[in-house]
Amino acid sequence: MDGSEVSNLHIEQQHLAMVVTALITAVGTFLATKSTNKVTLENENIKNATSLYEQYKELNQQLQQKVDKLEGKVEKLQEKYEKEINFYKLEIEKLEGQNELLQRENEVLKLENIKLKEGVSNDQLEN
């Protein structure tokens, strides 16, 4: 998730908070002005509530689309890294096998070296 997407989510959350605040204000207005023309006021509040609900649905849908998009990106990254991890696991196994072979060869060479040194020492003693 990059910074611009986080920023966009934050802005959309602010919009959602404004919608909820507006909805609360609309309900408060309704309760405070009961004594006025009830039919007109109720109709206006219904329009406001409907409008706010539609805005909320739209914002919620946009957020869901972004979440879906981000989930897709996360899945792709996870697949990519799993492939890389498997590649490096195989490389490590191969290198460990090579290391074992080299260690055995080194031991053989050490033994040969010791034998050669003993042979040189014995030759020097005989001369």
Q: Which residue has the tokens 């990106």?
A: 73
Instruction: Report the pLDDT value the prediction gives residue 58, as an integer from 0 to 100.
Output: 94
Instruction: Report the pLDDT value the prediction gives residue 99, as an integer from 0 to 100.
Output: 97
Residues 39, 43, 45: CA angle, nearest 5 degrees: 120
Compute φ and ψ for 35, nearest 5 degrees: -70, -15
Instruction: Report the pLDDT value the prediction gives residue 5, as an integer from 0 to 100.
Output: 64
Sign of CA dihedral 77, 11, 4, 61: positive
CB atoms inside a 10 Å sphere around CB 52? 19
Q: Measure the CA dihedral 61/65/67/73, to 10°.
A: 180
Mind listing the pLDDT tens digit of every residue in the chain (127 residues)? 555 665 666 677 777 778 778 778 877 777 666 655 666 777 888 899 999 999 999 999 999 999 999 999 999 999 999 999 999 999 999 999 999 999 999 999 999 999 998 887 766 666 5
Instruction: Report the pLDDT value the prediction gives residue 38, as an integer from 0 to 100.
Output: 66
Instruction: Report the pLDDT value the prediction gives residue 25, as an integer from 0 to 100.
Output: 81
With 0.85 as the threshold, say if the pTM is over it.
Answer: no
Burial of 59 (0-12, 13-18, 19+ CB in 10 A): middle
Instruction: Report the pLDDT value the prediction gives residue 63, as an integer from 0 to 100.
Output: 94
Instruction: Report the pLDDT value the prediction gives residue 43, as an integer from 0 to 100.
Output: 83
* Residue-wise DSSP of 28-42: HHHHHTTTS-HHHHH
